[in-house]
Amino acid sequence: MSLAPRDVRTHIATSDTTSITVRGYDLVNELMGKYSFTEVLYLLIKDRLPSREEARVLDACLVTLMEHGWTPTSLITRLAHDSAPGQVQIAIAAGLLAVGDVFAGTMEGCGRLLEGAAASSDPAAFLRQTVEAHRAAKKPMPGFGHPFHKPDDPRPPRLFRVAEECGLANRFVPLLKDLSAELDRQAGRHLTINATGAIAALLLEIGIPPVIMRGIAVVSRSGGLAGHIVEEEETRAARQIWRMAEEGIPYEPPPGAPKR
């Protein structure tokens, strides 16, 4: 059986009786109290501390996705907390499981597309052909469109502005805007860039690759779900959700069921 090469190392962390080392830094003396959660998150992903501007862009992305009111993630966390009080990790983990392909998958898809454009010798042609291919296959373009925020998602312009203020809107933000213009041109109508599309561009600007973009969304949303648990302790909305389901989605015998 040959499952893996035998010589595997980790660069992340180690500890001994008197110290903890994280990515080469002394956790206690070099990180705690000196850097923010967001800065150490960047360190853990990129193997270096961010500049002030990179940290601000990452914070803006994290803050964007923390909370959006009632969504599958917050509904699940509320319901799970009601069944397992005192085990907060259950409620948060259950909610995070809904950061799935439908709501987070587009970030990665948009990120890969922008990477492809940036690597192309003719980005304009790359974008044009990408839009053509998606339209021919009747596939939605990742990073575009929103069910509620119409005609425009209010978050992307703000995210672009933050990146610009930080001097970090140099390559992928312009490409996303070009993609948007090309999409509108071919569609003959305006489709909004959505928050996941804009975040994909900003994360690429600070060097965070598509493979972990959904992880950024997960970290961000974990904070929002902590807030839902605090409120659930007071309001017990879970019981209301349950009752509404009982009343609003009634049972009806299956067509071929025994009659009684």
- Give the residue, chosen from 131, 159, 169, 203, that forms a contact with a second copy under the rule CB under 8 A: 159
Measured from the CB of residue 156, what is the shortest distance to a second copy in angstroms?
10
Report the residue from 155, 172, 182, 201 that binds a second copy according to the rule CB under 8 A.
155
Binding mask 163-202 toward a second copy (x if CB under 8 A, else -) reads: --x-------------------------------------
From candidates 50, 143, 197, 224, binder to a second copy by CB under 8 A: 224
- Least distance (Å) between residue 140 CB and a second copy: 15
Task: Work out the angle between the directed axes of helices 52-65 and 37-46 (0-180°, nearest 10).
Answer: 100
Structural element, H or E, at residue 26: strand 25-26
Q: Which is nearer to a second copy, 118 or 244 (CB)?
A: 244
- Tokens 């085990």 correspond to what residue? 87
For 54-76, letters b (16+ CB in 10 Å) and e give bbbbbbbbbebbbbeeebebbbb
What does the block give as tokens for 238?
């879970």
- 125-144: contacts with a second copy (CB under 8 A): none
Of the candidate spans 122-130, 134-142, 154-162, 179-187, the one that interacts with a second copy by CB under 8 A turns out to be 154-162
Report the side by side order of strands in the sheet with 13-15. 13-15, 20-22, 25-26
Q: How far is the CB of 41 from a second copy (least distance, A)?
A: 4
Window 46-65: contact mask with a second copy (x via CB under 8 A): -xx-------x--xx-xxx-
Closest approach, Cβ 250 to a second copy, in A, equals 6
Using alpha carbons, select from 68, 215, 55 the residue that is nearest to residue 153.
68
- Report the alpha-carbon angle 153-215-170, nearest 5: 55
Q: How far is CA 52 from CA 171, 172, 200, 203, in A?
A: 19, 19, 20, 15
Measured from the CB atom, is 120 or 241 closer to a second copy? 241
Is 115 a binder of a second copy (CB under 8 A)? no
Which stretch in 119-127, 136-144, 170-178, 223-231 sits in contact with a second copy by CB under 8 A?
223-231
Q: Which of 93, 116, 120, 178 binds a second copy (CB under 8 A)?
A: 93
Name the residue nearer to a second copy (CB basis): 20 or 184: 20
Residues 6+ apart with CB under 8 A from 210: 107, 108, 111, 112, 115, 200, 204
Nearer to a second copy, 71 or 178 (CB): 71
Q: Are 73 and 98 in contact (CB under 8 A)?
A: yes
Q: Are 193 and 156 in contact (CB under 8 A)?
A: yes
